[in-house]
Amino acid sequence: MQNPLLEKPVAKYGAYPFDRVKPEHFLPALEEAMAKARTELEKFKLKTTTDFHHVITEKNDITEQVDYIAGIFFNLHSAECSEELEKISPQMSEALTRFGNDISLDPVIFAKVKKCFDSRLSQGLGSEELMIIEKTYKSFVRSGALLAESEKTRMRELDEKLAKLSLTFSQNVLKATNEYLLEITDRKDLEGLPDSFIESAAELAEKKGKAGSWCISLEAPMIIPFLTYSKNRELRKKLFLANASKAFNDNFDNQQNLKDILSLRTERAKLLGFNTHADYVLEERMAMSPKKVMDFLEELFIKAKPHAEKEMKKLQQLAKELDGIDELQRYDSAYYSEILKKRELNFDDEMLRPYFKLESVVDGIFKVAQKLYGLSFKEVFDVPKYHDDVRTFEVFDQEGQQFVGLFYTDFFPRQTKRGGAWMSGIKEQGMYHGQVERPHIMIVCNFTKPTKTKPSLLSLDEVLTLYHEFGHALHGLLSKCKYRDLSGTNVYWDFVELPSQIMENWVLEKECLDLFAYHYETGEKISNDLIEKIKASGKFMEGLGTLRQLSFAFLDMAYHTVAPDEVKSIPDFESRVADKTSLFPKINGTSISTAFSHIFAGGYSAGYYSYKWAEVLDADAFEFFQKEGIFNREVASKFRTFILEKGGTVHPMELYKQFRGQEPDVGALLRRAGLH
At 590, is the secondary structure helix, strand, or coil?
coil
CA–CA gap between residue 544 and residue 410 (Å, rounded): 31
Residue 469 annotated in active site = yes
| Active-site position among 462, 469, 497, 509 | 469
Q: Which residues contact residue 256 at a Cβ distance below 8 angstroms, ignoring those fewer than 6 apart? A: none
At 397, is the secondary structure helix, strand, or coil?
strand
CA–CA gap between residue 531 and residue 352 (Å, rounded): 10
Conformation bin of residue 400: beta by default, left when phi > 0, alpha when psi is -120 to 50: left
CA–CA gap between residue 325 and residue 557 (Å, rounded): 35
| Cβ–Cβ under 8 Å, residues 424 and 411 | no
What secondary structure letter does DSSP report for 502?
Answer: H
Q: Which residues contact residue 110 at a Cβ distance below 8 angstroms, ignoring those fewer than 6 apart? A: 104, 140, 145
Backbone torsions φ then ψ of 53, nearest 5 degrees: -60, -45
Q: Which residues contact residue 590 at a Cβ distance below 8 angstroms, ignoring those fewer than 6 apart? A: 241, 244, 245, 248, 571
| Cβ–Cβ under 8 Å, residues 466 and 458 | yes
> How many alpha carbons fall within 13 Å on the CB side of residue 18?
23
Pairing of strands 430-432, 391-397: unpaired
What secondary structure letter does DSSP report for 608?
Answer: T
CA–CA gap between residue 419 and residue 414 (Å, rounded): 9
Where in the sequence numbering do the catalytic residues fall?
Answer: 469
